[in-house]
Amino acid sequence: PASVVTVDGVRANSPITNTAEVPIVVSAVSTATAAKPTSVILNPDDVVTNTFGASVRLENKDAVNAAECTVRVTAP
């Protein structure tokens, strides 16, 4: 497992939900094409609308489980 995962092909304005038990940082892979803000911390069960672009970076910042980041992508 890696602590950072990049997901390509994410739809604009789609919801990004943290279903984990730890906070994750969601950010734009390319800050040139992303709307503000370029990153946000999602606590467990938080939801944010994708304004980060088609490629989204997800990073597990948890000190205990920092080496783990699993992503599940679903379509609405």
What's the mean per-residue pLDDT of the chain? Answer: 80
Phi/psi for 73 (5° steps) reads -105, 130
Name the percent of the chain lying above pLDDT 90: 13
Q: Is residue 33 very low, low, confident or very high in pLDDT (cuts 50, 70, 90)?
A: low
Q: How far is CA 22 from CA 33, 41, 54, 64, in A?
A: 28, 10, 24, 10
pLDDT at 26: 92
* Geometric angle at alpha carbon 12, from 67 and 24, rounded to 5°: 20
pTM for this model (two decimals): 0.77
